[in-house]
Chains A and B, each alone.
Chain A
Amino acid sequence: MDSTGRIAGTDGVAALETRARAVRAATVRMAHDGKTPHVGSALSCADILVALYFHAMRIDPQAPGDQDVFVLSKGHGCMSYYATLAERGYFSPSVLATYARNGGALPEHPSPGSVPGITVATGSLGHGLPIAAGVALARGMDARPGRVYVLLSDGECNEGSVWEAAMFAAGRRLDRLVVIVDYNKLQAMGRSDEISALAPLADKWRSFGWGTREVDGHDMAALTRVLDALPLEDGRPSAIVAHTVKGKGVSFMEDDTEWHYRSPSDADLDRALEELGRPA
């Protein structure tokens, strides 16, 4: 518990890895039951989400207030986000069964206020960072606490609004703002580095005035270390370029654009749950 009385996560690395496996299992089941795409995108950021929600973020699901804020700017990756929020206690895991169902609270991109823990809606890429910059700006104006984390996809960095906001945030010295890029190297139609000149991605953030660090986005110890080092540079927003693998954790989904579109069959689900070591 920190000075404000809010509870930060205290799980060790092994416990975090266990949680990430549970989030992945729930994610694959949601994609299977909901017959939805984007399971590869959701799996690539599962470790990042768990590191944020169970280690880095100052949050208390039972007592909302001036807590840390998270914005899933890559809204299509929401299955693992929903699973992480449920795992963290924002709502009952049973709600996950309503994912992508008619009349349910969990659409295929996050909707504001649909469930506790989600205040910012996304779905169209390039929107999350400007909104998060506004949240960070407001907190700074009022000298209120709270860090603002934004998870971007690498394909999303094609959007000009990302770089507009990157310049704005650096100009405003929004050092409570943290971008994490889920750099899984695959976007909707192919290799992200072939579709546009995304590389060198970390250099781009650095040149835009952000404190920048690269990390293995599946190495929980490394993730927690870099999150513990925030802000990466005083007076600057922080960018963490997390090298990831699309579909990570399920061998036959890894690094394959096919799983941006396919939803798992019954047999796929069985195999995936077996690999993840837990019958979900």
Chain B
Amino acid sequence: MRNAFIRALTDAAARDERILFLTGDLGFKLFDDFAARFPGRFMNVGVAEATMAGVASGLALEGKKPFIYSIATFATMRCYEQIRDDICYHDADVTIVGVGGGYSYGPNGPTHHALEDIAIMRALPNMTIVCPGDPAETVAAVHALARHRGPAYLRLGRAGEPAVHPGPVSFGIGESLVLRDGRDVALLSTGNMLATAVRVADLLAGRGLTCGVVSMPTVKPLDVRAVDDAIHHAAVVATLEEHSLLGGFGGAVAEHVAEAGVGVRFRRFGAPDRFSHACGDQEFHREAGGLTAARIADALLALAGRPC
């Protein structure tokens, strides 16, 4: 996902000279090509996320279009007030890029686990949140954000995520991508759980349940039509994200479901509300938190009234 991001941003920067790239001292050698192609438009601000966010606001107020980059926790949490006051309050055209969404940096420990970033970004007025599900969605997300104007948060995984889409995709801000149709279960997924969502659908198919899979890369603004379609046509609706169950994508969908007045069996799948004190990689933490295809499929079978 990270490499797809860099390639797409380099393409976008070739078309729009307002685009700048600022990093908080992360991404050794990754941006050499960008820096070589666009001298003066790449900048290492140093280990200073608050300054990076404030500087980006000032650049945007002068007509630039900065993308600012760090690990998702540092990019959103260290400088939250700068994002709120300097970027969102000014409606500044700044995209915050967080690499390592969810448990991507698993062995680095909870300081590097980005599990509350969507929740805190969602609460900010003017903010757009995009969490692509695979490299193809990452490219589409960068192009959508390059056309977008205003504060945005792009939440990436890291390197090496599997391709879920067979080829290039395209979506606009606030649009979803339907990967599979199915009306027994509708699984709405955001970000890097997309490959897991497809595996869940395969497991359910093996048990005789049809499972729709909708990738919802834009968490804010939420594609409420996609949610409405799910709750009006599927027996069971579930959300999937590598983020805390509190206030993230599942929370956003739950708010809409609750107010829609439709009786539907609904479940959020996400990270539990606790810090992990055990060392482990992304798969380890997903397993510990119940975020594996097998565990999710079992829970959905039970919810659909099919005992495991």
Q: Do A and B bind each other?
A: yes
Task: Give residues in A with beta carbon < 8 Å to B.
Answer: 112, 119-124, 126-127, 129-139, 141-142, 160-161, 164-165, 167-168, 171
Whether A164 lies near B61 (C-beta < 8 A) is no
Whether B85 lies near A164 (C-beta < 8 A) is no
Whether A133 lies near B58 (C-beta < 8 A) is yes
Separation of A229 and B85 alpha carbons in the complex (Å): 33
Whether B81 lies near A133 (C-beta < 8 A) is no
CB of A70 to closest CB in B, whole Å: 13
Near A by CB (< 8 A), chain B positions 51-66 give: 51-64
Give the residue of B48, B62, B89 whose beta carbon is less than 8 angstroms from that of A112.
Answer: B89
Near A by CB (< 8 A), chain B positions 260-306 give: none
In the assembled complex, 25 residue pairs joining A and B whose CB atoms fall closer than 8 Å, in A order, are A112-B90, A119-B61, A120-B58, A120-B90, A124-B81, A127-B82, A130-B51, A130-B58, A130-B86, A131-B57, A131-B58, A133-B55, A134-B58, A134-B59, A134-B60, A134-B61, A137-B55, A137-B59, A138-B58, A138-B63, A138-B64, A160-B50, A165-B55, A168-B46, A171-B46
Give the residue of B46, B54, B59 whose beta carbon is less than 8 angstroms from that of A138.
Answer: B59
Whether A168 lies near B85 (C-beta < 8 A) is no
Give the residue of B46, B54, B57, B63 whose beta carbon is less than 8 angstroms from that of A161.
Answer: B54
Whether B54 lies near A129 (C-beta < 8 A) is yes
CB of B64 to closest CB in A, whole Å: 5
Give the residue of B40, B48, B58 whose beta carbon is less than 8 angstroms from that of A135.
Answer: B58
Separation of A168 and B61 alpha carbons in the complex (Å): 19
Are A168 and B64 also in contact (CB < 8 A) when A130-B58, A134-B59, A141-B40 are? no
| B35 lies within 8 A of chain A by Cβ | no
Give the residue of A121, A142, A160, A168 whose beta carbon is less than 8 angstroms from that of B89.
Answer: A121
Q: Is the contact region of chain B dominated by helix, strand, or loop, or is it mixed?
A: helix
| B6 lies within 8 A of chain A by Cβ | no
| Known A130-B53, A130-B86, A131-B58; 15 more pairs at CB < 8 Å | A112-B90, A122-B85, A123-B85, A124-B85, A127-B86, A130-B50, A134-B57, A134-B58, A134-B60, A135-B59, A137-B55, A137-B59, A138-B58, A161-B51, A171-B46
| Range for the number of chain B residues in contact with chain A | 20 to 34
| B252 lies within 8 A of chain A by Cβ | no
Whether B54 lies near A130 (C-beta < 8 A) is yes
Total A-B pairs in contact (CB under 8 Å)? 89
| B45 lies within 8 A of chain A by Cβ | yes
Whether B51 lies near A164 (C-beta < 8 A) is yes
Whether B54 lies near A133 (C-beta < 8 A) is yes
Give the residue of B40, B54, B60, B62 whose beta carbon is less than 8 angstroms from that of A127.
Answer: B54
Closest to B63 in A: A138
Closest to A122 in B: B85
Separation of A123 and B86 alpha carbons in the complex (Å): 11
List residues of chain B with CB within 8 A of the CB of A136. 58
Whether A165 lies near B51 (C-beta < 8 A) is yes
Whether A135 lies near B86 (C-beta < 8 A) is no
Closest to B81 in A: A124
Separation of A227 and B116 alpha carbons in the complex (Å): 46
The 4 A-B pairs with the shortest beta carbon distances in the complex, nearest first, are A134-B58, A130-B54, A138-B62, A134-B55
Whether A131 lies near B54 (C-beta < 8 A) is yes
Whether B54 lies near A134 (C-beta < 8 A) is yes
Separation of A142 and B40 alpha carbons in the complex (Å): 10
Are A137 and B51 also in contact (CB < 8 A) when A123-B85, A130-B82, A131-B86 are? no
Whether B90 lies near A121 (C-beta < 8 A) is yes
CB of A234 to closest CB in B, whole Å: 21
Whether B62 lies near A131 (C-beta < 8 A) is no
Closest to B79 in A: A161
Whether A134 lies near B89 (C-beta < 8 A) is no
Separation of A171 and B55 alpha carbons in the complex (Å): 14
CB of A115 to closest CB in B, whole Å: 15
Closest to A133 in B: B55
Separation of A164 and B47 alpha carbons in the complex (Å): 9
Whether A137 lies near B58 (C-beta < 8 A) is yes
List residues of chain A with CB within 8 A of the CB of B81. 124, 127
Interface centre among B46, B56, B82, B86 (most CB of A within 10 A): B86
Interface centre among A133, A134, A161, A164 (most CB of B within 10 A): A134
Whether A130 lies near B89 (C-beta < 8 A) is no
CB of B21 to closest CB in A, whole Å: 13
Separation of A183 and B125 alpha carbons in the complex (Å): 35
List residues of chain B with CB within 8 A of the CB of A164. 46, 48, 50-51
Whether A121 lies near B85 (C-beta < 8 A) is yes
Separation of A134 and B54 alpha carbons in the complex (Å): 7
List residues of chain B with CB within 8 A of the CB of A171. 46
Separation of A225 and B52 alpha carbons in the complex (Å): 33
Separation of A100 and B61 alpha carbons in the complex (Å): 26
Closest to B49 in A: A164
Separation of A167 and B55 alpha carbons in the complex (Å): 13
Separation of A167 and B51 alpha carbons in the complex (Å): 10
Near A by CB (< 8 A), chain B positions 15-48 give: 40, 45-46, 48
Separation of A131 and B54 alpha carbons in the complex (Å): 5
Separation of A171 and B47 alpha carbons in the complex (Å): 13
Whether A139 lies near B90 (C-beta < 8 A) is no
